[in-house]
């Protein structure tokens, strides 16, 4: 009887989520791939859901599906264009199939920190990028920050030569494949949800990600350690389908846009703090964090940065120059 009651309670609470939308409300399904706590995207998406459901009650209703429970990043943009979900926030690396301009965000050592990324995104060039895929049916509403990427493997990574011959999971991006090849590694594109298992079983030896992702997916449990390389970034674009967006009533669209903007400002200001908390939680859970001294860091820069040359025509030398001017 208890089991039956538990099953009933579970099914009632599962349908309560689905039933939370009333007739006549615009349903906004938001699918993403990360955890919800100690994660910049997870927290921002939950805050967006709460605010939409409170402030737009009667007009709109948002349901967030985290942890790749609905789609992974390779599927979600297709699902968005099909109208199966209405909002997503894939990492910027996932947009390269739509526009090569976004490759600038994947180039190693392009941005010294997330403040530099923020300044670049808020420039005219960065803001225009939100509308660079409208012909392909996608509109960016906002950039959301995660943080700086770190490298981990099943052996200690101190010098870039330690990565030689290792298999690294990468997001499906030509820049990231070239970056791992520059290290002498073998890049293995893979969905985020599969990385823990692949590290655990030795399908891959290592990976790169932010503290919040390494913490949220528990990668540190199945790696020798994490080296604080800060060699790249993971950031997101909140996207909707152009057709869906244009078909919304103007008041719904305007209110949703302003809530997205407010949540963006509030949560982006906290992204570095959230990653620092995740880093501390990794150490507390027994994960090993390795630091590079200045000479070691210079070696990583010298090994990875030549990748820029391969992609400078895709991203535009003027954009590289603008990003570097922000770093200065
Ligand atoms: C990854 O695939 O490693 C990340 O883009 C996941 C995420 O959304 O942070």
Q: 251-302: per-residue pLDDT in tens?
A: 999 999 999 999 999 999 999 999 999 999 999 999 999 999 999 999 999 9
Closest Cα to atom 1, ligand 1: which residue? 192
Where do the H-state alpha helices sit in the chain?
Answer: 2-19, 40-55, 73-82, 114-121, 124-129, 174-182, 195-201, 211-216, 242-247, 250-268, 271-284, 294-304, 307-315, 317-327
The number of beta carbons lying within 10 Å of the beta carbon of residue 101 is 18
Compute, in angstroms, the gap from residue 73 CA to the centroid of ligand 1: 8
The CA distance from 63 to 319, in Å, is 37
Q: CA–CA separation, 231 vs 208, rounded Å?
A: 9
Q: Closest Cα to residue 306, out of 155, 162, 151, 107?
A: 107
Once rounded to an integer, what is the mean pLDDT over residues 189-216?
98
Report the C-alpha gap between 48 and 36 in whole angstroms: 12
Vertex 150 angle, CA 240 and 42, to 5°: 35
pLDDT at 14 over 80: no
Determine the distance separating the centroid of ligand 1 and the alpha carbon of 168, expressed in angstroms: 14
Residues 116-139, mean pLDDT to the nearest whole number: 96
pTM, two decimals, is: 0.93
Give the residue, out of 169, 213, 237, 275, with the most ligand 1 atoms within 8 A of its beta carbon, to mutate for a pocket test: 213
Out of 68, 114, 171, 194, mutate this one to test ligand 1's pocket (max ligand atoms within 8 Å of CB): namely: 171
Across residues 138-159, what is the average pLDDT? 98
Contact 327, 111 (CB under 8 A): yes
Query: How many angstroms does the Cα of residue 36 sit away from the middle of ligand 1?
Result: 13
> 74 pLDDT band (50/70/90 cuts)?
confident
């Amino acid at each position: 009887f208890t089991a039956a009651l538990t099953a009933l309670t579970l099914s009632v609470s599962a349908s309560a989520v689905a039933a939370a939308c009333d007739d006549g409300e615009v349903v906004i399904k938001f699918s993403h791939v990360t955890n919800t706590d100690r994660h910049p995207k997870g927290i921002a998406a939950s805050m967006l859901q709460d605010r939409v459901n409170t402030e737009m009650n009667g007009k709109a209703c948002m349901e967030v599906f985290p942890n790749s429970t609905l789609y992974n990043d390779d599927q979600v943009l297709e699902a968005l264009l099909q109208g199966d979900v209405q909002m997503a926030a894939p990492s910027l690396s996932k947009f390269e199939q739509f526009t090569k301009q976004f490759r600038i965000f994947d180039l190693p050592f392009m941005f010294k920190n997330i403040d530099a990324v923020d300044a670049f995104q808020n420039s005219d060039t960065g803001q225009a990028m939100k509308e660079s895929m409208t012909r392909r049916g996608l509109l960016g509403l906002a950039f959301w920050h995660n943080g700086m990427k770190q490298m981990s493997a099943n052996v200690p990574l101190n010098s870039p030569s330690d990565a030689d011959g290792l298999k690294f999971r990468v997001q499906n991006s030509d820049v990231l494949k070239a970056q791992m090849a520059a290290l002498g590694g073998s890049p293995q594109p893979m969905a985020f949800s599969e990385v823990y298992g692949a590290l655990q079983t030795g399908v891959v030896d290592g990976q790169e990600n932010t503290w919040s992702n390494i913490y949220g997916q528990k990668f540190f449990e199945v790696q020798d350690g994490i080296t604080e390389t800060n060699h790249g970034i993971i950031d997101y674009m909140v996207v909707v389908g152009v057709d869906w967006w244009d078909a919304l009533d103007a008041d719904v669209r305007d209110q949703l846009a302003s809530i997205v903007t407010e949540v963006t400002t509030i949560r982006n200001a906290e992204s570095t703090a959230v990653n620092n908390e995740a880093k501390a939680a990794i150490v507390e859970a027994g994960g090993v964090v390795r630091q590079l001294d200045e000479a070691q860091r210079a070696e990583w820069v010298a090994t990875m940065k030549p990748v820029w040359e391969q992609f400078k025509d895709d991203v535009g030398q003027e954009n590289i120059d603008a990003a570097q001017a922000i770093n200065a």
